[in-house]
Structure 1
């Protein structure tokens, strides 16, 4: 391979890149800035155009600085996925003590309506995961972890009597996750459907769906 071909592979993320010397400044802040730039590039120009050069330009860094933190495009994009799934887990941790499904679902919707790049990027990453094993592995692993956390929250609610117990918690977790994903996929196309009043109605309906039937007894009642 010629030097020019190697250089091109490093810049567009299609080939290996040598690690450069450690850039000066705040390591965590620069890494976060690059992830933000990657999300913006994917959302605005598409996954195929989110090259290392493009990301570097958006972040105000050199391509060499990008390759210090991320060896190639695959590593950059999987790091972006990991960081977003970390935020999903944080949503669950925040509501876990109260088993508050309404608060968790509201957090999903606010993440969608408050960040115009979030779901357009996720949709593209999900689509490309069909042919990119590294992306698929991250999505499968992290979604499974998310559902386990969600299931444990629902199990607590079932034990306390605030969530219906006639459907297994893992099934409820799967259904609620699918509902939230569906809303997020459609929001960029139909934002008019998600006015504040309608979001409140959707949240009320979600809580009603998982609440125990009116005649149900709490687990600790005779």
Structure 2
């Protein structure tokens, strides 16, 4: 009987998803090698085979989160092209980073957990900065396209408004995670829409 061949890419992704489940449920501090191995249904030695350390495992998970969000957002960025009124397409693209359903809420929980952990874990800081900068690049891109199409006020300070929009999205994300019964998906979308409409 020949030994079963394990796909290392798939195995590392499965471990990352186990990290996500542990962090969403219990927090970053509970995402130990042992707890993640148990969540993934693996021996702890299997985790160590694919990751040199606990930090290596957590960093891989953060990068997997970034790539997942980036891919989904980029799938929607095409909707910004060839439109006369870009407020609604921009709303749809920006809404991809807000906790509007279970998947996006879990991603928001992970983002907040990893960003908070980075405050005291230097190894996570560059990755938390990538999440921070990525949101601002997304806002800048959306507003730049809107400005070029004339769907926002002429002379709009895109640099400043990108920071303001990113701050709004950050606030809506935090409130949506911490107070989901009060900052509901409907309210979140209404606030984003009102903000974009105010830029005309």
Relative distance call for 1:172 and 1:56 in structure 2 (3 A) is same
Structure (1 or 2) with the larger CA radius of gyration? 1
Deviations along 1:104-142, whole A, 9 cap, x unmatched? 222223x55323533333222212211211211112134
Runs of 5+ consecutive residues of structure 2 not aligned to the other structure: 81-88
- Take 2:130 and 2:50, find their aligned partners in 1: how far apart are those partners? 23
Runs of 5+ consecutive residues of structure 1 not aligned to the other structure: 1-22, 213-222
TM-score computed with the length of structure 1 as normaliser: 0.73
Deviations along 1:21-50, whole A, 9 cap, x unmatched? xx8323332222111111121222222221
Relative distance call for 1:164 and 1:64 in structure 2 (3 A) is farther
Following TM superposition, by how much is the alpha carbon of 1:204 offset from its aligned partner in structure 2, in angstroms?
Answer: 2.4
TM-score computed with the length of structure 2 as normaliser: 0.80
Question: Does the alignment pair 1:67 with 2:48?
Answer: yes
Following TM superposition, by how much is the alpha carbon of 1:145 offset from its aligned partner in structure 2, in angstroms?
Answer: 4.1
Aligned to 1:192, what secondary structure does the other structure show?
coil
Aligned to 2:156, what secondary structure does the other structure show?
coil
Pairs within 5 Å for 1:80-119: 80-99=61-80, 100-109=89-98, 111-115=99-103, 116-119=105-108
Relative distance call for 1:184 and 1:152 in structure 2 (3 A) is closer
- Take 1:55 and 1:195, find their aligned partners in 2: how far apart are those partners? 31
Aligned to 2:101, what secondary structure does the other structure show?
helix
Which 10-residue stretch deviates more, 201-210 or 36-45?
201-210
- Take 2:169 and 2:195, find their aligned partners in 1: how far apart are those partners? 10
The alignment covers a number of residue pairs equal to: 188
